[in-house]
Structure 1
Amino acid sequence: MAAPVYWSPDVAEKPGSFLDGEQCVIENEHFFVRGRIVLPVRDADEGFEWGVWVSISPANFGRMIDVFEDPARVNEPPYFGWLSTILPGYELTTLNLKINLHTQEVGVRPLVEVEPTDHPLAVEQREGITVTRVQEFAEIALHQ
């Protein structure tokens, strides 16, 4: 995903707005970071990963910047946020699902834990998916 759903060329021109590969700020009011949603694949050795954007509070964004290069960041408590990416393959939108963002070792994008609800994405994160479901995601991506 190239940018949070709220980003646009118009936003890029506004003061206090920037977008890079890992972070995004809109008008010094809305703060986003990249993360990974991992879905276990029950009939494979590795999980399926979605690269997503999440919105977090200004305080948590500042904290993430402060510990960005600190190996001890793995000990940070999770940061609450909102999913800011619309993922294909779900009838119910994934936009604004509640999440917890878990920092990882330096150089690794944070893990995104979707709030355990009955939303299909949350269920798939808890219970896993099949290789067939991964193939469905690949088909959707090919036709976008």
Structure 2
Amino acid sequence: MAYSAPAPHVWDPSFADAPDCLLSSDQCVINGQHYFVKGLLEIPVIGTGEVFSWGVWVSLSRDNFARAADMWDTAGREAEKPYFGWLTTELALYAPSTLNLKTHLHTRPVGRRPFVELEPTDHPLAVEQRIGITRDRVREIAEAVLHPAGDESG
């Protein structure tokens, strides 16, 4: 019921050794100029009480990233106002591209990934987040993620 991107779309493995770059399981900095936090874009599964989650990356301003980092291990951080950001994970199942969709990153209690809320547009991913998806759609997503088109190994 969850799939996750290991890094923002703009991350390149060559950045790993650069002194002004960082990639952890929760945060990413590129060239000391671009800042990202990983969160969960949650979609209700209709009629089940369950939630399907995409683990995605959101770019934040330097100030918002610094604030989020300062609050990372602080009890009560969920009281923070949401941080504006841009989705920086390409989810190939959706067209048009999911890159650069407007988001609000909601901090949750320590130990829980932030919640990613998409701007309520007519983009298919935003619509799914608003109205939910069926179990059949969850199976469709799982098939597409586990056996991408053009993958002859399966």
Shift of residue 62 of structure 1? Answer: 0.4
Aligned length in residues: 144
Q: Report the identity percentage.
A: 53
2:122 is equivalent to residue 118 of structure 1: yes
Match of 1:77 in 2: 81
Q: Deviations over 1:102-128 (max 9, x none)?
A: 000000000000000000011111111
1:103 aligns with one of 74, 84, 107: 107
Give the AA of the match of 2:142.
Answer: A
Give the AA of the match of 2:62.
Answer: P
Task: Give the ranges of 4+ consecutive aligned residues of structure 1 lying more than 6 Å apart after TM superposition.
Answer: none
Shift of residue 12 of structure 1? Answer: 2.4
1:89 aligns with one of 90, 93, 96: 93
Shift of residue 38 of structure 1? Answer: 0.5
Q: Deviations over 1:49-97 (max 9, x none)?
A: 0000110000001001111111121100000000000113212110110
Shift of residue 11 of structure 1? Answer: 2.3
Counterparts of residues 1-144 of structure 1 (less than 5 Å): 1-144=5-148
Which 5+ residue runs of structure 1 have no aligned equivalent?
A: none
Shift of residue 101 of structure 1? Answer: 0.2
Shift of residue 130 of structure 1? Answer: 0.5
Shift of residue 15 of structure 1? Answer: 3.2
Give the AA of the match of 1:2.
Answer: P
Shift of residue 22 of structure 1? Answer: 0.4
Which 5+ residue runs of structure 2 have no aligned equivalent?
A: 149-154
TM-score, length basis structure 2: 0.90
Tell me, yes or no, if the aligned pair for 1:117 and 1:123 is still in contact at 8 Å: yes
